[in-house]
Amino acid sequence: MISPYVRRLRLATELRQLRAQAGGLTHEQLAKKLGVSRAQISRLENGHVPPDQDDIITILDALGVEGERWTQILTIAREAAERGWWESNKMMGERQSLFANLEAGAATICEYQQTFFPGLLQTQEFTRVRVESDWFQRSARSSAQTEGLIKGRAGRQRMLARPGGPMYEVIVDEVVIRRRLAPPAVLRAQLLHLVDKAAEEKIIVRVLPVEADIEGYTLIPCTFSIYRYHDPGDPIVVGVEAVTSDVVLTEPDEVTPYLQMYDRLRAAALPEQDGLQLLTQAANRLSDE
């Protein structure tokens, strides 16, 4: 399936364009023509709610949309209203559900990971250590929620590996490799797991060295991911991770700086095999302990 979140955004764009093409109708004028509230039209055009197909058909008929265009918009609306697998696991948390949604149907995912090993490539043991040591939210989390987070991460990894899954490239900051984020045995297994996953056809793992000379001395303030989809009409989406919440960006003027940052990070990262060698060396040092 294609990300319902992204398809809602696409539907919103299409509806705004159709309204503009129909003589520049305002929200109020279209709502009056349909006999609905202005707020209902606004919610659909903002992509805030899953659409009802009957409502979309009514709008298309009122705007005189026919033929292939009618079929295209209705297909987008149907996909925007679908329920993803993540909705059946309420315990995986809203933040993780959001990223699972963005990952659905992506053609490519590019991620810069500044603080942790990438969730899509974490071992279950490492994930458990990180979830149980999250002191920001640990006191408010039940054991069922902990298991839900771990199962949700595993579900996202299965979707990455599905037939037709996305190309996935991640740039891991060397600081992540050097920092003790888990007991030595767990950390060693995690490092070697990254090396193993990098051998797969659709996965690329790069390492950004601490002494990297990034073009323009660019400051990279946060972890972020870039999602591109097969339909060229869908937006490029950037997910920005913070401590307790995340931000999703879709407007070109907000997305473009992250695309440029990622290109600079990729150019400054070690050659792929050199990065994998660094990961292996870090794992070997842990085994010596």
Residue boundaries of the structural domains of the chain: 4-80, 91-288
Using one digit for the tens of pLDDT, what is the confidence trace for 4-45?
A: 999 999 999 999 999 888 888 888 888 888 888 888 888 888
Q: 182, 128 in Cβ contact below 8 A? A: no
Residue whose token pair is 């700086």: 257
Q: Which residue, 265, 268, 282, 280, is CA-closest to 177? A: 282
Q: Which residue, 108, 96, 204, 205, is CA-closest to 155? A: 96
User: Would you list the DSSP string of 177-202?
Assistant: HHS--S-HHHHHHHHHHHHHHTTSTT
For 4-80, CATH number out of 2.50.20.10, 1.10.260.40, 1.10.10.10, 3.10.105.10 equals 1.10.260.40
Cα 182 from Cα 155, distance rounded (Å): 22
For residue 137, the model assigns a pLDDT of 53
Q: How many C-alpha atoms does 253 have within 13 Å on its Cβ side?
A: 0
Cα 122 from Cα 55, distance rounded (Å): 42
Using one digit for the tens of pLDDT, what is the confidence trace for 109-120?
A: 999 999 999 999
For residue 32, the model assigns a pLDDT of 86
Q: 66, 57 in Cβ contact below 8 A? A: no
48 against 136, higher pLDDT: 48
For residue 241, the model assigns a pLDDT of 86
Say if residue 135's pLDDT is above 60.
no
What is the pTM assigned to this prediction?
A: 0.92
For residue 206, the model assigns a pLDDT of 98
In degrees and rounded to multiples of 5, residue 247 shows phi and psi of -125, 135
Say if residue 94's pLDDT is above 90.
no
Write the CB contacts of 69 (distance below 8 Å, at least 6 apart in sequence): none
In degrees and rounded to multiples of 5, residue 168 shows phi and psi of -130, 120
Using one digit for the tens of pLDDT, what is the confidence trace for 230-256?
A: 999 999 999 998 877 789 999 999 999
Question: pLDDT tier at 138 (50, 70, 90 boundaries)?
Answer: low
Average pLDDT, the chain: 91
Q: How many C-alpha atoms does 107 have within 13 Å on its Cβ side?
A: 9
Q: Which residue, 224, 205, 253, is CA-closest to 111? A: 224
- DSSP-derived secondary structure letter, 219: -
Using one digit for the tens of pLDDT, what is the confidence trace for 162-194?
A: 889 999 999 999 999 999 999 999 999 999 999
Fold of 91-288: Endonuclease; Chain A (3.30.870)
The two structure tokens encoding residue 156: 């996202």
